[in-house]
Amino acid sequence: MAEKPHMNLVFIGHVDHGKSTLVGRMLLETGHIEQHIIDKYREQAEAKGKGSFEFAWVMDALKEERERGLTIDVAHKRFNSDKYYFTIIDAPGHRDFVKNMITGTSQADAAVLVVASPEGVMAQTKEHVFLARTLGVGQLIVAINKMDATKPPFSEERYNEVKEETTNLLKTVGYKMDNVQCLPVSAFKGDNTVKASENMGWYKGITMLQALDNLTLPEKPSGKPLRLPVQDVYTSTGVGTVPVGRVETGVLKPDTKIMFMPSNKVGEVKTIEMHHEQITQAEPGDNVGFNVRGVSRNDIRRGDVAGPVDDPPTVVKSFTAQIMVLNHPSVITAGYTPVFHCHTAQVACTVEAIQKKLDPKTGDVKEENPDFIKTGDAAVIKVRPTRPMVIERAKDFPQLGRFAIRDMGQTVAAGMCIDVEQK
């Protein structure tokens, strides 16, 4: 039987809002927790004279299991819906992991934002919503969780309040509500995850599982022009220059000319290898090495991006970006020159101007040309790299348009490129 289409699903939201519980619940209800784990908890339950289902025990069992169960090749929890199979990334809560989310994880096709209904939107919710946007995740399911813990339980009024609060936040960062599905759940009790809840007669919408089935597969980035950020460059005896990297968009093929920017070198791809085996083309997500004629090891370096000669990667004189300040000890003003981590490049860039400060409640411009921005602020800034750098508009190439801003050994901000001024 042909395998179902695959989707990368990232779970975001405050760590105490029940993300793990929702993941655990979906795994259990879709039959993806190993039977021996379920049997084990049943035995324990019976031994203690409790025949009833105790979901918390399953979560504990999963925790124990992971100590033994993890291998490098099967890193992810996965489950199937009717239409898709999903692999899950659960986003870390602390903002110090943002750089890794931006430069390291594979492209997420959709996100599940978990917001606990008793608490509502919190600072980490805001950070993660911004992060999802920066990662170029267009489709979002908002699971308003812990509905069993509202006062009174399963309160429609509370659901609507949190839904409105979350919707406003999403609009702020530019989400279109057509691509967002809000629904009430209790991951702990199971309400509305795979079966409609008997406790929420007022809710006439779809379940979590149906919402997952309603997602659409994003267009494959193989149709776009080639973009391959260079991770490292080797020389191999008898082979020549071998750049190594991951294809982000487009297709890399032998016997084609490619251009490395900003080094501005053209070479011809001869052979491509993946896992030491020759392949006829490399597609998005493939980690490859390839030998390239006409380019020496010293001509190109990490941070260069390979692309077609007739549609080369964009080298910018300056660019406009939307950023969120995650953690800065004081304030950011024009002239600030931290290091931008974008694809494999690390380039010091000067904040030339802070053009707009955005109101996190409405998404409107709060202040034109503010003197400074600080932790928690979202803003539009103009940036000038101190040396040549490739960055693309995030809407054209999300993987090459997002960045983390680092200073003093910390991630101070994250953002995405919204416009470029070419060099």
Partner 1 sequence: MGEVAITYRILPETTDIDLKELGDRVRDVSEGIGKIQGMQEKPIAFGLTALLIRVIIEDKEGGPDEIESALSGISGVQSVEVMDMTRLL
Residues in contact with partner 1 by the rule CB under 8 A: 15, 19-20, 23-24, 59, 62-63, 66, 70-72, 75-77, 88-94, 96-97, 99-101, 103-106, 231-232, 234, 236, 239, 242, 244, 272-276, 287-291, 302, 409-410
Least Å from the CB of residue 151 to partner 1: 27
Least Å from the CB of residue 103 to partner 1: 7
Closer by beta carbon to partner 1, 282 or else 316: 282
Quick check: helix, strand or coil at residue 102?
helix
- Answer for the pair 79, 26: CB distance below 8 angstroms, yes or no: yes
Least Å from the CB of residue 102 to partner 1: 10
Give the type of residue at 151: K
Single out the residue of 301, 394, 390 nearest to residue 347, CA to CA: 390
Least Å from the CB of residue 349 to partner 1: 20
Question: Distance (Å, rounded) from C-alpha 156 to C-alpha 183?
Answer: 11
Output Rg (C-alpha) for the chain, integer angstroms: 24
Omega before 262 within 30 of 0, i.e. cis: yes
Backbone torsions φ then ψ of 116, nearest 5 degrees: -75, 130
Closer by beta carbon to partner 1, 249 or else 291: 291
Closer by beta carbon to partner 1, 326 or else 358: 326
Which residues have C-beta within 8 Å of that of residue 93, sequence separation ≥ 6? 14, 15, 124
Closer by beta carbon to partner 1, 91 or else 170: 91
Least Å from the CB of residue 133 to partner 1: 19
Provide the token pair at 135.
């990662």
Closer by beta carbon to partner 1, 244 or else 334: 244
Provide the token pair at 94.
């602390």
CB-based burial label for 331 (10 Å; 0-12, 13-18, 19+): middle
Taking the CB of residue 351, how many other CB atoms lie within 10 A of it? 22
Least Å from the CB of residue 303 to partner 1: 11
Q: What share of the chain is helix, strand, coil (3-state, %, to 5)?
A: 25, 35, 40
Least Å from the CB of residue 62 to partner 1: 5
Least Å from the CB of residue 278 to partner 1: 9
Question: Distance (Å, rounded) from C-alpha 206 to C-alpha 350?
Answer: 47
User: DSSP code of 375?
Assistant: T
Least Å from the CB of residue 94 to partner 1: 5
Closer by beta carbon to partner 1, 90 or else 191: 90
Closer by beta carbon to partner 1, 19 or else 126: 19
Backbone torsions φ then ψ of 267, nearest 5 degrees: -145, 170
Closer by beta carbon to partner 1, 15 or else 331: 15
Closer by beta carbon to partner 1, 204 or else 275: 275
Taking the CB of residue 76, how many other CB atoms lie within 10 A of it? 12
